[in-house]
A and B are shown apart, each in its own frame.
Chain A
Amino acid sequence: NAGVMQNPRHLVRRRGQEARLRCSPMKGHSHVYWYRQLPEEGLKFMVYLQKENIIDESGMPKERFSAEFPKEGPSILRIQQVVRGDSAAYFCASSPGSGTQYFGPGTRLLVL
Chain B
Amino acid sequence: TQLLEQSPQFLSIQEGENLTVYCNSSSVFSSLQWYRQEPGEGPVLLVTVVTGGEVKKLKRLTFQFGDARKDSSLHITAAQPGDTGLYLCAGRGRLGTSGSRLTFGEGTQLTVNP
Contacts and interface: CB of A to CB of B under 8 A. Distances in A.
A44 B2 CA distance: 11
Given A33-B100, A43-B88, A48-B101, A106 B106 contact: no
Interface class of chain A by DSSP = strand
Interface string B90-113: 101000011111111111000000
Interface stretch (B36-44, B54-62, B63-71): B36-44
B72 interface: no
Interface magnitude class on chain B: 20 to 34
The 6 closest A-B pairs by CB, nearest first: A103-B42, A56-B98, A42-B106, A43-B104, A45-B101, A42-B104
A73 to B, nearest CB: 21
B22 interface: no
A42 B88 contact: yes
A100 B100 contact: no
A103 B35 contact: yes
A59 interface: yes
A98 B97 CA distance: 14
B35 to A, nearest CB: 7
B45 interface: yes
A106 B105 CA distance: 18
Interface in A36-62: 41-45, 48, 55-56, 58-59
B100 A95 contact: yes
B48 interface: yes
Nearest to B41: A105
B41 A100 contact: no
A103 to B, nearest CB: 4
B29 to A, nearest CB: 13
A77 B105 CA distance: 23
B100 A106 contact: no
A101 interface: yes
B98 A104 contact: no
